[in-house]
Structure 1
Amino acid sequence: MSKAEKFRALHHHRAPGDPLVLPGPWDAASARVFAEAGFPALATPSAGVAASLGYEDGQVPADEMFAAVARIVRAVDVPVSADVEGGYGLAPKELVERLLEAGAVGCNLEDSESGVLKDPHAHADWLAEVREAAGDRLFVNARVDTFACGVADPQRAVERAALYVAAGADCVYPIGAPPEVLPLLRAGIQGPINVGAPTEGGPTPAELGARGATRITFGPGLQRRAARALREIAAGLRP
C-alpha cells in the first residue's frame, strides 16, 4: 500500500469521538517531533511554514513552499499532506506534479482569495481538474471558507461542500466553523470533514469528533505556541 493509500484509509471507518489528529509541522525538526510522538500522518500549515521561512501568511513564493514541504517529507516516514493555499496560480496538472515531486500525499486547497469567496461552480470545476490530474495519488482536502469570510449560515458551507465532493474532493474543511454547527454540517456533508482545533482551551479533538469531525488540524497554532515558548526561554536568558 502506498503512502497516499495509507493516508486515505486513515480517514475512513472512524468511530465518533476518535477523529484523525494531524499535527502541523512547520519544518523538518518539528515534523520529526510529531512523528516520534506516534502520529500516523502530518499536515503542514501554510501560515506556520510561512513563519518559519520569514514570510507573512500568503506571501511565500511557490518554489519556497514546495521546497519546505519536500524537506518535511524527507525528514519523516509518515505520510505528509501539504497546505498549498489557493494553488499559487498553477495549472492543475503542474500543481499536482509539484506536490508529487515534493513527496506530498495530499493537499489543502482554499476557495477564497484575499478574503473574497471564489465562485463555487468555477472552483468545483478547477478541483475536478486537479482530481483528474492526480488520480488516486493525492488526497484532496477542499477548504470551504464561508465562515472565515463572514458567511455564518451553515447551509452555504453545505452547498459548497456538495459541489466540491461531487468534483472529487476526498474531504472538505469548513474552516472557522463554530463547534455548535458541526452536527448540522455532519448531517449535510458527504464524506470526511476536517475541523480546526485550538491548541489550548476550547473543545478537545475527541469532543470535536463527537460533534462530527473526521479529522483535526491546528493551522499555525502549534508553531505559534512553540514560538511563544521560545520567547519565554529567550527572555530567561537575558542578563
Structure 2
Amino acid sequence: MPISLADKRATFRKLHGSGCFPIPNPFDVGSAKALAQMGFKALASTSAGFAWTIGKADNRVTVDEVCTHLTELCAAVDVPVNADFENGFAHEPEKVAANVTRGAKTGVAGLSIEDSTGDAARPLYDRNHAIERIKAARAAIDADNSGVMLTGRCEGFLVGQDDLAMVIDRLCAYADAGAECLYAPGIKTREQIAAVVKAVAPKSVNLLIGASGLSVAEVAELGVRRISVGGSLARAAWAGFMRAAKEIAEQGTFTELAKGYPGVELNKMFR
C-alpha cells in the first residue's frame, strides 16, 4: 500500500530527531527506485545529476524542469525525498517564495535554499538579502501547512570563500530565519564539521560526504544528522559510461562493456 505524503513528511522529520542517516542522491527515477530498494530511509535530488540526464550543465535547469523531475521522483518511491532546490530559481525573496510553493506541491518532504547567486563576480548574496530569501521560503512553507522541512545552505566553501566564521555566521542567521537543517557543502575536516554542528545546535546539520573522507559512523560521532553525496553517484555512473563509450570510439574494442551491471539483475529490481 503506497505511503501517504503526510506519512513521508512525518517520517522525514522523525529521522532528524536523533542519530545520523545517509541520504543518497538519485539522478532519475531508475536510480531512485534502486536506492529505495537498498533500504535507504530517505533520498535527496541532485541538481547536477539531474541536469546531466537532460544534457545540461549544473545550475542551468529551469524551475519547470526541476518541479517535473521532483514530481516523478516522489511518485516513484515510498521514502521521503529532499529537494536540491538550488537558489530557489530566483533572486528576489517574493519570487523564491512563489517557487518554493511550487516545489512543495511536487511531493517533497524537504527542500534546500542556497545563497549562491550564480554570478562569478559576486558569488554569494549579500548577507541580509540571503536571510530575507530564507525568511520568504519559510513563510511560503508555513502558508500552506505543508510540513516541508527547510534547509538553509551557505555555499561559501564551494565558491572560494572558505572563511569558516563567515559560513557559520550565515548558517546561524539562516537558522534564526526559519531553516530547520543547515548545510555548508565543502567543509572537510573534523574540526570544521564539529564547529558547524556546535554553532547551529539544536538544529540539524547536513554534510556533503563527497567533500569528506569520513565514514557514516565517524560523522555520527561529530553530531551530524544526515549525509548526502551530491552528484557523486551520477558521476560514478557517467564514469562507467564514458570509459566504455571512449573505448569504442577511440579503440574500436568493447572490453569495458563486460563490466556492466547484469541486465537480469536490473530487470529483477524494476519488475
Indicate which of 189, 203, 208 corresponds to 1:196. Answer: 208
Q: Which residue of 1 aligns with 2:16?
A: 11
Matches within 5 A, 1:134-213: 134-135=141-142, 137-180=147-190, 181-190=192-201, 191-198=203-210, 202-213=213-224
**Pairing 1:52-201 to 2, within 5 Å after superposition:** 52-89=53-90, 91-114=95-118, 115=120, 116-135=123-142, 137-180=147-190, 181-190=192-201, 191-198=203-210
Counterpart-to-counterpart distance in 2, 1:198 and 1:130 = 27
Aligned counterparts of 1:110 and 1:151: Cα–Cα separation in 2: 14
Residue segments in structure 1 that go unaligned for 5+ positions in a row? none
Deviations 1:147-187 (A, max 9, x none): 22223332111110111001110111011012231112222
* Alpha-carbon offset, residue 231 of structure 1: 3.2
The AA in structure 2 aligned to 1:48 is: G
Higher Cα Rg: structure 1 or 2? Answer: 2
For residues 213 and 187 of structure 2, the distance between their equivalents in structure 1, rounded to whole angstroms, comes to: 13
Equivalent pairs, count: 234
- Unmatched 5+ residue regions in structure 2? 1-5, 255-271
Distance 1:138 1:5 in 2: 9
Q: For residues 150 and 232 of structure 1, do their structure 2 counterparts lie closer, same or farther at Cα, with a shift above 3 Å needed?
A: closer
Which has more helix, going by share of residues?
A: 2
The letter of the residue matching 1:178 is K
Output the CA distance in 2 between the equivalents of 1:97 and 1:43: 18
Larger RCO (alpha carbons 8 Å, 6+ apart): 1
Separation of aligned partners in 2, 1:67 and 1:87: 15
Percent of matched pairs sharing the same residue? 30
2-structure distance, mates of 1:133, 1:141: 14
CA distance in 2 between partners of 1:203 and 1:194 (Å) = 14
Counterpart contact for 2:28–2:50, Cα < 8 Å: yes
Following TM superposition, by how much is the alpha carbon of 1:36 offset from its aligned partner in structure 2, in angstroms? 0.2
Instruction: Give me the whole-angstrom Cα distance separating, in 1, the residues matched to 2:73 and 2:132.
Output: 30
Contact 2:183 2:205 (C-alpha < 8 Å) held by counterparts: yes
Aligned partner of 1:132: which letter? A
Residue in structure 2 matched with residue 21 of structure 1 by the alignment: 22
**Large movers: runs of 4+ above 6 Å:** none
CA–CA distance in 1 between the matches of 2:71 and 2:124?
29
CA distance in 1, matches of 2:152, 2:253: 45
The TM-score normalised by the length of structure 2 is: 0.80
